[in-house]
Amino acid sequence: MTVKKNIRVSIVEYNKTRREGLALLVNSTFGYCVINAYENCKILLHRLPTEYPDVVLAAWQSFNGYTFDSACIKCISQIKQMAPYTKVIIFNGIDYQKVIFQTLKAGADGYLIQFTSPAKLLESIKEVYEGGAPLSPVIARAIVASFHKNISSTLSPREVQVLELLAKCKTYAVIAEDLFIDRETARSHIKNIYWKLEVHSKAAAIEKALSEKII
């Protein structure tokens, strides 16, 4: 289908070389134009009320360029609140399931990993503009896998979250920080997990959770 007008794109990418490369790719393709390319989301949000792009390509690892954190999620929500008809594609190298669902829940319309080819990236911008929801295969698989989990488990949703972080070799301190709880609460959840799964170690808990498709 021929694009009837230029798809107006705003880019967020903290790395100048990558930012300029993405802008060049989009601008040099018929049917697309870059309104602006920003080094962070703060500038984008400041300009959003006057520019109203069709698509925001958020090619960040994070709000500040180093770690994907809650500020990124907040930024997505703010974009959707300020410009509800603007589509947002997340474009980064993080395929951690928690991040995927947080970004989609915040309002992201698509999620691509940074190994995506230039042709696929352009195709995805057009797809999201036309109402689609482009997802890299690894992201789509993660979403499908989430529906295959054992919903009859005796573990609470919070305990499942703790167990997922344990499976990723997170420490008690990191688990507490990620879930906004104190360390004692994290330890209490882990004790409950061991008791409910009838195991006595982290390795055994993870093995049983995987075999029973709890995580």
Per the structure, how many domains does the chain have?
Answer: 2
pLDDT-based confidence at 83, cuts 50/70/90? very high
> Do 104 and 57 have their domain in common?
yes
> CB-side exposure of 73: number of CA atoms within 13 Å?
12
CA distance 193 to 207: 13
Query: How many other β-carbons are positioned within 10 Å of the β-carbon of residue 213?
Result: 12
Domain holding 198: CATH number?
1.10.10.10
Residues 175, 128 share a domain: no
2 pLDDT above the threshold of 80: no
What are the counts of helices (DSSP H) followed by strands (DSSP E) for the chain?
Answer: 10, 5
Confidence of residue 149 (pLDDT cuts 50, 70, 90): low
DSSP 215: -
C-alpha span between 133 and 139 (Å, rounded):
12
3-state secondary structure (DSSP) of residue 20: helix
Q: Are strands 55-58 and 7-12 parallel, antiparallel or unpaired?
A: parallel
Q: What is the pTM of this model?
A: 0.66
| pLDDT surpassing 90 at residue 22 | yes
70 close to 26: Cβ distance less than 8 angstroms: no
Do residues 205 and 111 share a domain? no
pLDDT in tens, 27-73: 999 999 999 999 988 899 999 999 999 999 998 654 444 345 567 78
Q: What is the dihedral of CA 104, 109, 111, 114, to 10 degrees?
A: -140
Q: Which domain holds residue 202?
A: 157-211
